Structure 1
């Protein structure tokens, strides 16, 4: 009986010591530097929009790049973004510094 009490007492002391060490451990945080948030999605065409809808909503592009490849991928350049089309539908719109 005395051995069981002694073992329990030692266990309690060890657990108490570990708990106090865990509570006093230094807190370390890493500072993340992130790029500014991209333009809101509402300010650009969304996937699946037709060329006609894009032009109706955003006006004519500054520059139209002819389609290349199979399937044909074309590009329209606007002042704040570039729109990529597959056939006549938007597949992606990217802002400055983003990759398409």
Structure 2
């Protein structure tokens, strides 16, 4: 019987120590400033599948054009608020620039 009492006391002490340590653990909160988050829901930007001609008709000529690289050839059109990536003549993806 003494053996069971010792086991119970050891288990109780172990649990108490474990709970004491666990009670001191805190989660770290990560925050991202609002200015670095792009809200695509209110933005107007080229959609996947659009042609270069349609993009230029809607948003005008880009500020900068980076010529195609790689295979398949991927080019970039830079606008003030976003960059359009084209595969050939077709919009592959649009990335919004970070607000400053």
- Name the TM-score, length of structure 2 as normaliser: 0.63
Q: What's the counterpart of residue 82 of structure 2?
A: 81
Unaligned runs of 5+ in 1: none
Please list, as runs of the form range in 1=range in 2, the aligned pairs for 1:1-100 lying within 5 A after superposition: 5-25=1-21, 26-34=24-32, 36-40=36-40, 43=43, 44-55=45-56, 58-63=58-63, 65=65, 67-69=67-69, 70-97=71-98
What's the C-alpha RMSD, in Å, of the aligned pairs?
2.9
80-89 or 34-43, which deviates more: 34-43
Following superposition, the deviation at residue 41 of structure 1 comes to 6.1
Structure 2 CA distance, aligned partners of 1:67 and 1:50? Answer: 16
Size of the aligned set, in residue pairs, is 92
Q: Which structure has the greater CA radius of gyration? A: 1
- Name the TM-score, length of structure 1 as normaliser: 0.63
Instruction: State the 4+ residue runs in structure 1 displaced beyond 4 angstroms.
Output: none
Structure 2 CA distance, aligned partners of 1:32 and 1:88? Answer: 40
Structure 2 CA distance, aligned partners of 1:46 and 1:9? Answer: 71
Higher relative contact order (CA 8 A, sep 6+): 2
